[in-house]
């Protein structure tokens, strides 16, 4: 009896062949694992000290990528139009997801912010999964500060510029935002008020996108005495509804919240809002996280910029609490 020809061989063998789409899917999964590895290698401390949402996202991405490699290397089953369409859609969705995961990588903190995270005889620093708190060791003032970081920036990056507020007697709460996006931390201010129930007034502030969300929170919440904007502006017109004092601090070398955008924002803020424009200061100098794509080139040192910003902030919070 003649052996069966290839045409009469069991269909299962042919069904498991590794087609082009399987290899593409495997390559996409490998790229996903590479994106996870890159994020961990370049921003591990920021991930560990950040809100856990991004760490969870990285873990899920790694698991899905490993599963995708295993499935892709098994080869393709007999294809139908529906099955083929679904597989193509999954590959496209996975590719988009990889781009999002990579984009969400946080900007790691640099000195002197890390040094400012240590407690001493003037300030006690506590850190949890969703916030950093700077508490004066002496009798605190009744006005506290709540701060929203810029998009994707490690919350610790603002420790050095905001710590002087706590040294001056004002408790400070810095939000750790899910995935580093302030719009995902709109409830963080209410949580901060529960942490500091003795504060009778608040100055709400933020950097860049964080300041935009802080503007919404200041406009909608009570007990807000001031709005402190670092290289930021509101997303909508709040000039009639906002009753708090406003200080906008910006830099002439900011390539993101440009001087033109800051000037235009005056029309959206109360008429008595103060605008402090710092000569030579860039966008990234409002925190300590290194250069930022699209930013301008600073013309003053980070230390000088930080001192200017901190001194102006302390004066503003002191005055807001005195009203």
User: CA 198 to CA 185: how far, in whole Å?
Assistant: 22
Which pLDDT belongs to residue 21? 81
Instruction: For residue 75, give every residue at least 6 positions away whose Cβ sits within 8 Å of its Cβ, in sequence order, or none.
Output: 15, 16, 17, 18, 19, 22
**Of 227, 265, 263, 262, which is closest to residue 243 (Cα–Cα)?**
227
59 Cβ contact partners less than 8 Å away, ≥ 6 residues apart: none
pLDDT greater than 80 at residue 10: no
What tokens does 214 get? 């802080």
Residue 31 predicted with pLDDT over 80: yes
Structure confidence by residue, pLDDT tens digits, 171-197: 999 999 999 999 999 999 999 999 999
The per-residue pLDDT for range 104-120, each reduced to its tens digit, is 999 999 999 999 999 99
Can you tell me the distance from the alpha carbon of 150 to that of 98, in angstroms, rounded to the nearest whole number? Answer: 22
Residue 5 pLDDT greater than 60, yes or no: no
In whole angstroms, how large is the CA radius of gyration of the chain? 25
Structure confidence by residue, pLDDT tens digits, 124-155: 999 999 999 999 999 999 999 999 999 999 99
Cα 169 to chain centroid distance, Å, stands at 27
C-alpha to C-alpha distance for 137 and 119, rounded to whole angstroms: 9
Written as six digits, the tokens of 29 are 């999964």
What's the pLDDT at 84? 78
User: Does pLDDT of 16 surpass 50?
Assistant: no
pLDDT in tens, 218-253: 999 999 999 999 999 999 999 999 999 999 999 999
Per-residue pLDDT band at 2 (split at 50, 70, 90): low
Share of the chain above pLDDT 90, in %: 84
Tell me what the mean pLDDT of segment 285-308 comes to: 98
Collapsing DSSP to helix, strand or coil, 5 comes out as coil
What is the mean pLDDT of the segment spanning 288-314?
A: 98
CATH number for the domain formed by residue range(s) 115-322: 3.40.50.1820
Domain segments of the chain as ranges: 6-103, 115-322
pLDDT of 8 over the 50 cut: no
Strands (DSSP E) found in the chain: 123-127, 131-136, 143-148, 172-175, 201-207, 224-230, 245-251, 274-278
First to last CA, the chain: 102
Instruction: Give the phi and the psi of residue 317 in degrees, each rounded to 5.
Output: -65, -40
Q: What is the pLDDT of residue 236?
A: 96
pLDDT value of residue 23? 87
> What integer best gives the mean pLDDT of the chain?
93
Nearest CA to 313 out of 177, 168, 182, 192 is that of: 168
């Amino acid at each position: 009896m003649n052996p069966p020809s290839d045409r009469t061989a069991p269909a299962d063998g042919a069904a498991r062949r590794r087609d082009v789409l399987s290899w593409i899917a495997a390559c996409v999964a490998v790229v996903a694992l590479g994106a996870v590895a890159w994020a961990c290698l370049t921003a591990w401390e920021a991930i560990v000290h950040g809100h856990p949402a991004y760490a969870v996202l990285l873990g899920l991405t790694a698991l899905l990528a490993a599963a995708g490699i295993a499935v892709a290397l098994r080869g393709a089953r007999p294809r139908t139009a529906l099955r083929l369409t679904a597989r193509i859609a999954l590959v496209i969705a996975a590719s988009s997801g990889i781009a999002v995961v990579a984009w969400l990588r946080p900007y790691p903190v640099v000195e002197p912010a890390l040094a400012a995270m240590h407690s001493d005889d003037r300030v006690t620093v506590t850190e949890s999964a969703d916030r950093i708190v700077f508490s004066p060791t002496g009798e605190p003032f009744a006005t506290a500060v709540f701060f929203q970081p810029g998009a994707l920036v490690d919350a610790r990056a603002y420790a050095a510029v905001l710590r002087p507020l706590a040294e001056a007697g004002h408790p400070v709460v810095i939000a750790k935002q899910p995935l580093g996006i302030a719009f995902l931390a709109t409830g963080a201010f209410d949580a901060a008020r529960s942490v500091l129930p003795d504060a009778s007034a608040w100055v709400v502030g933020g950097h860049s996108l964080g300041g935009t969300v802080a503007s919404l929170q200041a406009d909608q919440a009570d007990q807000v005495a001031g709005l402190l904007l670092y290289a930021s502006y509101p997303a909508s017109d709040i000039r009639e509804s906002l009753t708090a004092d406003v200080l906008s601090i910006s830099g002439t070398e900011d390539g993101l919240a440009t001087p033109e955008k800051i000037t235009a924002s005056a029309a959206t803020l109360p008429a008595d809002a103060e605008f402090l424009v710092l000569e030579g200061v860039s966008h990234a100098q409002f925190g300590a996280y290194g250069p930022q794509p699209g930013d301008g080139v600073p013309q003053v040192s980070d230390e000088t910029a930080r001192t200017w910003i901190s001194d102006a902030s302390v004066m503003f919070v002191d005055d807001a609490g005195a009203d």
